[in-house]
Amino acid sequence: MADVLDTARAIARCRAAESARPAGERLFEDPLARLFAGDGDAGAEDAVAAFARVPFFAEQVRLRTRYLDDLVRAEIARGARDVVVLGAGFDTRALRLAEIARHGVRVHEIDFPEQHARRRATLDQAGVALPSYLRFLDCDLSHPDALANLTGPLADGACRPGSGAVFLLEGVISYIEDDAVERTFRFVADAGGPGSRIGFNYTASRFNRRSLASLLEAGGLNPVEDLDLAAVHRRYLPGEPPPGGDLFGIATAERR
C-alpha cells in the first residue's frame, strides 16, 4: 500500500500529463505539477503503480480537477474570499488560478506537517516564491480534536464575515473514516460562515447518494450537486466517457 503522503505525487503526475496535452484538449493547465511528480522516487512510483490498476483513475483526476477549479472560480464570483484546501497535498490552485490573486482571496492549505515541508522544499528548490495570501496549517483530519483546534485560527480573520468561503476535500475521503468525514463537514459549517460551500470527491464503493446525504445532514450541510464522473465527462468533453466513470462521485454542498 502506497504511503498516504506519496499518493499526492501520483495525482501531480496525472496533472502534469494533462498539462502536456495540446492546448485545445486540456481541461486545465498546471505548470507546477511536474515539480511534484517525484519521478524515480520509490514511494511515488509505488503510488503511481497502485492507482494505475484502478479503472478510470487518471480520467477522474483530470475531471475532478476541472470540476473543482470551476467551483472555486464560481464561488469567488459569488463573493467567497477564502479558499480552504483540506488534505492539500500538491494542490497548486493558489498559484495557478488567476482569480485568486485578482480578487484578494486567501488560501489556507491543510495537511500533515511533513507534506507541507515537502511542498515548501520543492518550490524553494525550483525558485518559486510562495504568495503572501497562501498559508499552511498542520492538521491530522483523523484526530478527533484537530479540526476543533483549527476553527480558532481560521475564524481569526480567515473566513471573513459575510464573504463565505469555499472548501475543497479532493482525493482525501479514501484516507479518513466516516466519523472524520462528518467532523470535516461540521468544520465547514462551523468555520465557513453563511454561504460557504465545499466540493469533494468520493468513490461509489464508499458512499451512495443516500448515505452521503445523511452524512452531510449530520455535518450541517445541504447537498447542492452530486454527479458521477461519467456525467462530469459529458459536461466537459465530447463523446461518451470510457467505462468506469460511475465508480467515482463528486459533489458540492453548502452550509445549512
Interface residues toward ligand SAM, by CB under 6 A:
4-5, 7-8, 11, 87-91, 111-112, 115, 139-142, 170-172, 175-176
By beta-carbon proximity to ligand SAM, the closer residue of 140 and 217 is 140
By beta-carbon proximity to ligand SAM, the closer residue of 75 and 111 is 111
CB 229 within 8 A of CB 171: no
By beta-carbon proximity to ligand SAM, the closer residue of 179 and 240 is 179
By beta-carbon proximity to ligand SAM, the closer residue of 104 and 245 is 245
Task: Tell the smallest beta-carbon distance from residue 133 to ligand SAM (Å).
Answer: 19
CB 203 within 8 A of CB 249: yes
Task: Tell the smallest beta-carbon distance from residue 84 to ligand SAM (Å).
Answer: 12
Task: Tell the smallest beta-carbon distance from residue 90 to ligand SAM (Å).
Answer: 6
**Strands laid side by side in the 166-169 sheet:** 134-138, 106-111, 82-86, 166-169, 197-203, 248-255, 221-228
Q: Which amino acid is at 179?
A: D
Task: Tell the smallest beta-carbon distance from residue 189 to ligand SAM (Å).
Answer: 19
By beta-carbon proximity to ligand SAM, the closer residue of 64 and 233 is 64
- Angle ∠(10,87,141) on CA atoms, nearest 5: 135
Residue with CB nearest ligand SAM?
A: 89
Task: Tell the smallest beta-carbon distance from residue 82 to ligand SAM (Å).
Answer: 17
Task: Tell the smallest beta-carbon distance from residue 234 to ligand SAM (Å).
Answer: 22
Measured distance CA(70)–CA(99) in Å, rounded: 11
Measured distance CA(177)–CA(101) in Å, rounded: 34
By beta-carbon proximity to ligand SAM, the closer residue of 38 and 171 is 171
Measured distance CA(113)–CA(115) in Å, rounded: 5
